[in-house]
A and B are shown apart, each in its own frame.
Chain A
């Protein structure tokens, strides 16, 4: 599988897919997409990178262990629910703010934070399974 063409294009393909996954994640509230599908795309991006260039470069690129990423995602997801408590509304009530950044109104919300958590959980879990399966010699 490790042809020169694949090895050369894989990094570009991976970065494009990760970028696309973030795009899919962020548009999810209004257009097809969301954290779950975004996470799957990102995970397959890293799986491809792993197949092409071997697992160690992927692990170095990810910095953290994929399972820690998943754990962080779960934490962020839960946190999104807890934020509402500090605003004095029931658990998991969606909160929205519309700050203006460079003159553009951006909608930020706790559901978005939660979706980022979902994204990280799916990304971390699937990537850790795929990478675990890819590095067979080391076992």
Chain B
């Protein structure tokens, strides 16, 4: 179980490393750089192929790398049939997507950045499906949402792209938060969030009183990611992304993350009444709505996008039955769908790229000009339509077998599936045959065959759809069987047949599907018009609802901000200082822990001198007749304190205090000269009294607090530890520095990250237009606060040493 970095961890890291190098490779080699870059996913694919024999028996391989023992968060992976299938799809299809991107975006100035994003996504998706720990799954889950955001918004100068990107991020990111809540509940109920441990305890979660909230929260994650009705609207909008993204993220891999999650937790959360009610209903609805909406579209990509929604619905519906045969159907369908939909998207992109349009009504007769594209599209469409001898046919046979029954629920599922599959055939044929067959139509560009870079993907994927069916025995023993076993939670050794041995219900259902599909295909135009009328009659959709929701949210936050942030610095400072004074003083008074008055310490004359300087500085602040003098005078007091630190044995702290005081004065003075404030501080008598009281309360409060702290018995455990070990194990005599960079290095890493982020925020505020003067004032206080905060940190660590 325990291992350090092994090959699989490197395979998980590889896409991230490739992401860092992609822009340089493209700069050197141009679009042909994608040949070189495609070696990365190809290598990962080969690596994972090596696991095929190990998982064939339905076993899972788990490995833990405890990279940070103190954190209690080891990196671990779990490879079984389910994750292996996904890993192979992600790296296999990813190889061709990288190639395809090189051709599709040839000459695009940002190709390097694009490939970088693709690799980041690849790494995130791979991490998601291979992680054993649910928290890690969540992190990768959100990373896929973020990379999807970057890729959808890639053409960021287009308003539609930006909207689609934000929409996808809000929906899938929001779902991710729901998933996180679910994971935390699982952790609380089961005491672990390792999948490999959870999977050994089936029934634990199902019988828990928290089962319903856990399930609903998980479904919140899965349904948003896998675009289930009524949250499906982001996926068609995501088609604003360049076509390689649509083919990769929004059909073959990312949108299946939700299905993956459901399949993964099926053994531990599935097979309950509520599971088998919610999933089939939402899945079935999504299937029907998706296909109907697809019929209405004329844009090739949108037609495919809506059928992707439908296919995801079908998968959710099948997983929801928790029936082993239906699960086997879902497993085959998932493989089939990734292959044919990835290929069809790439075909649509090729048509768009070579002919200049992807409106299906403006295309026709391209077969002569683009024979290879046509061939690949046709093979994929036949698989999508569920015709033999393609893997899509095997999938449909199996899933019909799984859900067929004469009782009402089974009947409902069967009818839903038949209608959905028939419409799927219609769209598949419309995408793959309409643009290529029939009379030649004038297109914006004179069409010709695409480059090899772009043809490789659709050709190989559609041939895989054929080969996986022709060598069905191999596929089922090595891929489908192990995957079905993982999903079902028991070892299955299914036998699938490409050609049915006897005429059973499923074969008849298949024939009915094909018949309905062909009839509808020839009436597509009137069907489309009818759908158009219906949707126009309804007039409202979730997409519009999203806009209403967002504008409501903006309005609400606007009102809240108006309420709690009136924009008056005075008020903010008063509230902050009053709260500080209360937090310091109230516990001391209420708990009766006021310190005793100490004896006057024996101090040397120069120590008194320094103290006097501080007092003089403060007096100067109060009597200053302009603001600049006040700021400088405050600096005097700060320097005096720094001197005191020096005299009483804290050179590091004193050093830092000197620099911080200097910089605070410089920055404050700069801010003051930027703002055309009154030179002098005008305060009414009333305000002087209020402000003075607050100042005395805060200052006095801290005085009392520090006094009572020093009167507590001193625990020297920590200081002894550091004094003893600083030189011995950290090789440093400066204990403060050793603590900062070694003993507590991770804390410091967090702190410098905060410093950098605060810097960015301040920079953004400075750059605001001069008309926003109030904000600039806030800048000064923020910068001052962040510097002061760091001194506080240093002080805290000084006191521990």
Set of chain B residues within 8 Å of A35, measured between Cβ atoms: 740-741
Give bound CA distance, A40 to B661, whole Å. 11
Residue B699 at the chain A interface, CB threshold 8 Å: no
Give bound CA distance, A133 to B748, whole Å. 27
Residues B767 and A109 in contact, CB atoms below 8 Å apart: no
Give per-residue flags for A104-129: 1 if the beta carbon is below 8 A from chain B beta carbons, else 0: 00010101101101100110111011
Choose from B763, B779, B787, B794 the contact partner of A128 (Cβ within 8 Å): B763
Residue B5 at the chain A interface, CB threshold 8 Å: yes
Choose from B659, B732, B767 the contact partner of A40 (Cβ within 8 Å): B659
Set of chain A residues within 8 Å of B769, measured between Cβ atoms: 139
Residue B721 at the chain A interface, CB threshold 8 Å: no
Interface residues of B (CB under 8 A from A): 4-5, 66-71, 651-652, 655-656, 659-660, 662-663, 666-667, 670-671, 673-674, 730-734, 736-738, 740-742, 745-746, 748-749, 752-753, 755-756, 758-760, 762-763, 766-767, 769-770, 779, 783, 787, 790, 794
Interface residues of A (CB under 8 A from B): 28-37, 40-41, 43-44, 47, 51, 67, 70-71, 73-74, 77-78, 80-81, 85-86, 88, 90-92, 94, 96, 107, 109, 111-112, 114-115, 117-118, 121-122, 124-126, 128-130, 132-134, 136, 139
Given the contacts A111-B742, A130-B670, A139-B769, A33 and B737 also touching, CB distance less than 8 Å:
yes
Set of chain B residues within 8 Å of A29, measured between Cβ atoms: 731-734, 737-738, 741
Set of chain B residues within 8 Å of A128, measured between Cβ atoms: 759, 763
Give bound CA distance, A77 to B553, whole Å. 39
7 contacts between A and B (CB under 8 A): A34-B652, A36-B794, A90-B67, A92-B745, A111-B741, A125-B755, A130-B667
Main secondary structure of the interface of B (DSSP, over half): helix
Set of chain B residues within 8 Å of A111, measured between Cβ atoms: 730, 732, 738, 741-742, 745
Listed residue (B66, B738, B746, B759) with the most chain A CB atoms within 10 angstroms of its CB: B759
Set of chain B residues within 8 Å of A34, measured between Cβ atoms: 652, 734, 736-737, 740-741
Choose from B732, B733, B736, B749 the contact partner of A77 (Cβ within 8 Å): B749
Choose from A86, A107, A129 the contact partner of B667 (Cβ within 8 Å): A129
Known contacts A28-B741, A80-B745, A90-B67, then 13 further A-B pairs from the complex at CB < 8 Å, ordered by chain A residue: A29-B738, A31-B733, A32-B652, A37-B652, A37-B656, A41-B659, A88-B5, A92-B749, A121-B752, A124-B759, A128-B763, A130-B666, A133-B674
Q: How far is the CB of A29 from chain B (nearest CB, A)?
A: 4
Residues B659 and A37 in contact, CB atoms below 8 Å apart: yes
Residues A90 and B759 in contact, CB atoms below 8 Å apart: no
Residues B755 and A122 in contact, CB atoms below 8 Å apart: yes
Residues B667 and A133 in contact, CB atoms below 8 Å apart: yes
Set of chain A residues within 8 Å of B666, measured between Cβ atoms: 44, 47, 51, 130
Residues B760 and A67 in contact, CB atoms below 8 Å apart: yes
Residues B663 and A125 in contact, CB atoms below 8 Å apart: no
Listed residue (B651, B732, B736) with the most chain A CB atoms within 10 angstroms of its CB: B732
Residues A81 and B745 in contact, CB atoms below 8 Å apart: yes
Q: Considering the complex, give the chain B residue whose CB is closest to the CB of A38.
A: B659
Set of chain A residues within 8 Å of B749, measured between Cβ atoms: 77-78, 81, 92, 114
Choose from B656, B736, B756, B779 the contact partner of A121 (Cβ within 8 Å): B756
Set of chain B residues within 8 Å of A88, measured between Cβ atoms: 4-5
Give bound CA distance, A35 to B766, whole Å. 26
Given the contacts A122-B752, A124-B759, A28 and B70 also touching, CB distance less than 8 Å:
no
Residues B767 and A132 in contact, CB atoms below 8 Å apart: yes
Listed residue (A43, A71, A118) with the most chain B CB atoms within 10 angstroms of its CB: A118
Residues A47 and B794 in contact, CB atoms below 8 Å apart: no
Residues A133 and B68 in contact, CB atoms below 8 Å apart: no
Residues A134 and B756 in contact, CB atoms below 8 Å apart: no
Give bound CA distance, A51 to B669, whole Å. 12
Choose from B66, B746, B759 the contact partner of A67 (Cβ within 8 Å): B759
Residues A118 and B748 in contact, CB atoms below 8 Å apart: yes
Q: Considering the complex, give the chain B residue whose CB is closest to the CB of A139.
A: B770
Q: How far is the CB of A45 from chain B (nearest CB, A)?
A: 11
Residues A33 and B759 in contact, CB atoms below 8 Å apart: no
Residues A94 and B730 in contact, CB atoms below 8 Å apart: yes
Give bound CA distance, A74 to B751, whole Å. 10
Residues A133 and B731 in contact, CB atoms below 8 Å apart: no
Given the contacts A40-B660, A90-B67, A132 and B732 also touching, CB distance less than 8 Å:
no
Residues A74 and B734 in contact, CB atoms below 8 Å apart: no
Set of chain A residues within 8 Å of B783, measured between Cβ atoms: 129
Residues A94 and B742 in contact, CB atoms below 8 Å apart: yes
Choose from A41, A115, A129, A136 the contact partner of B762 (Cβ within 8 Å): A129
Q: Considering the complex, give the chain A residue whose CB is closest to the CB of B69.
A: A90
Residues B655 and A92 in contact, CB atoms below 8 Å apart: no
Q: Considering the complex, give the chain A residue whose CB is closest to the CB of B668.
A: A133
Q: How far is the CB of B747 from chain A (nearest CB, A)?
A: 10
Q: How far is the CB of A51 from chain B (nearest CB, A)?
A: 8
Give bound CA distance, A99 to B67, whole Å. 28
Set of chain B residues within 8 Å of A139, measured between Cβ atoms: 766-767, 769-770
Residues B759 and A129 in contact, CB atoms below 8 Å apart: yes
Residues B741 and A125 in contact, CB atoms below 8 Å apart: no
Residues A36 and B67 in contact, CB atoms below 8 Å apart: no
Set of chain A residues within 8 Å of B671, measured between Cβ atoms: 133
Residues A31 and B734 in contact, CB atoms below 8 Å apart: yes
Residues A90 and B66 in contact, CB atoms below 8 Å apart: yes
Q: How far is the CB of B666 from chain A (nearest CB, A)?
A: 6
Give bound CA distance, A28 to B748, whole Å. 15
Q: How far is the CB of A34 from chain B (nearest CB, A)?
A: 4
Set of chain A residues within 8 Å of B763, measured between Cβ atoms: 67, 128-129, 132
Give bound CA distance, A8 to B748, whole Å. 38
Set of chain B residues within 8 Å of A85, measured between Cβ atoms: 5, 67
Set of chain A residues within 8 Å of B673, measured between Cβ atoms: 136
Q: Considering the complex, give the chain B residue whose CB is closest to the CB of A117.
A: B752
Residues A121 and B755 in contact, CB atoms below 8 Å apart: yes
Q: Considering the complex, give the chain A residue whose CB is closest to the CB of B758.
A: A125
Set of chain A residues within 8 Å of B663, measured between Cβ atoms: 40, 43-44, 47, 126, 130
